[in-house]
Amino acid sequence: MSYAIINPFYAARLKRVPRIDRDQPEQPVYARLPLAPRNASPVPHLTSLYHFHRAGEYGDRKWPGNCGGNLIRDLLLYFRPGLVFDPMTGSGTARDVCQELGVPCISFDIHEDYDACDPRQAPAPESFDFIWAHPPYWRQKLYADDPRDLSRAPTLEDFLRRYGQFIRNSAQALKPAGKLAVLMGDYSDREAGYVPLVYHTKRLAFAAGLTQHCTDIIRFSHGASSSKKVYRSCFIPGLHDVCMIFEKQR
């Protein structure tokens, strides 16, 4: 084990503390989670802290930005919606989960020439019980070679303008008491600095007339491609993204 002396005062007293040895292979760190209170939830393990290290056999793990299907599955088992919509479906993770559960689902993507941010392509009002949305975290990852792709928005202002329209389209497409679940993460951009996209999502959802239905769900980012990289710069790594559940007025 290697050691580092942390403070000259304590150094004089030869107090030494272990240092993280960066040459050691990564070891998993096990955190003890708080106990969840018992309640009538049909999915008791669904709490504000979501940690499923296996993604499940849904969608395509090689799709950039692919998310595991287990959280979607748990949300559907909890909310028991009728018709589901996934307007940014990527590799079809939500669609696969719906198929497994026998829940009807409509899903599109910009790759199929469907622009979820265009008010002219918005679904008919009050069509869906549940919308699952996993949009690009602005330009953290690039998706389609199409200027309408949200990840291609040239400025944060432009991204937020189109993202706001997407949330308004979704709010309109929900039935009364319908739920919009958005999975989003904050992101540190080379030019724009730290972009609090979770904050912006809430701001835009409230402006669209939605209310927050329940706790945020903090999803641990197991298997993120960035976790194996080595950076020269100094920062506090973000190891989660956030699933927010909004509700349309009853």
Ligand X SMILES: C[S@@+](CC[C@H](N)C(=O)[O-])C[C@H]1O[C@@H](n2cnc3c(N)ncnc32)[C@H](O)[C@@H]1O
Residue nearest to ligand X (CB): 90
Q: Which helix (H) or strand (E) holds 188?
A: strand 187-189
Nearer to ligand X, 90 or 178 (CB): 90
Q: Does 111 bind ligand X (CB under 6 A)?
A: yes
- Residue 65 engages ligand X in binding (rule: CB under 6 A): yes
Rule CB under 6 A: is residue 165 a binding residue for ligand X? no
Q: For the beta carbon of residue 201, count every other beta carbon within 10 angstroms.
A: 23
Least distance from ligand X to the Cβ atom of residue 33, Å = 25
Amino acid 55 reads A
Long-range contact pairs involving 60-63 (C-beta distance under 8 Å, separation at least 24)? 60/91, 60/92, 62/91, 63/90, 63/91
Q: Judged by CB under 6 A, does residue 59 bind ligand X?
A: yes
Q: Which stretch binds ligand X (CB under 6 A): 27-35, 87-95, 122-130, 174-182?
A: 87-95
Nearer to ligand X, 41 or 221 (CB): 221
Spatial CB neighbours of 143, under 8 Å, sequence gap ≥ 6: 64, 65, 90, 110, 111, 136, 149, 151
3-state SS, residue 194: strand
Binding of ligand X by 222 (CB under 6 A): no
170 binds ligand X (CB under 6 A): no
Asked if residue 144 binds ligand X (CB under 6 A), the reply is yes
Cβ proximity to ligand X: between 14 and 124 the closer is 124
Indicate which single residue of 50, 149, 170, 242 sits in contact with ligand X (rule: CB under 6 A): 149
- Burial 221-249, CB ≥16 within 10 A → b, else e: beeeeeeeeeeeeeeeeeebbbbbbbbbe
Residue numbers 113-142 binding ligand X by CB under 6 A: 114-117, 134-136
User: C-alpha distances in angstroms, 218 versus 50, 52, 75, 173, 244?
Assistant: 6, 11, 13, 26, 9
Among 50, 74, 81, 91, binds ligand X (CB under 6 A): 91
Q: What angle do CA 8, 12, 15 make, to 5 degrees?
A: 85
The crossing angle, in degrees rounded to 10, of helices 197-207 and 156-173 is: 50
Q: Which stretch binds ligand X (CB under 6 A): 21-29, 31-39, 82-90, 209-217?
A: 82-90
> By CB under 6 A, is residue 90 in contact with ligand X?
yes
Among 47, 50, 67, 167, binds ligand X (CB under 6 A): 67
Three-state SS at 206? helix
Select the residue interacting with ligand X from 143, 159, 163, 187 (CB under 6 A): 143
Residues contributing to the site for ligand X (CB under 6 A): 59, 63, 65-67, 87-88, 90-91, 93, 109-111, 114-117, 134-136, 143-144, 148-151
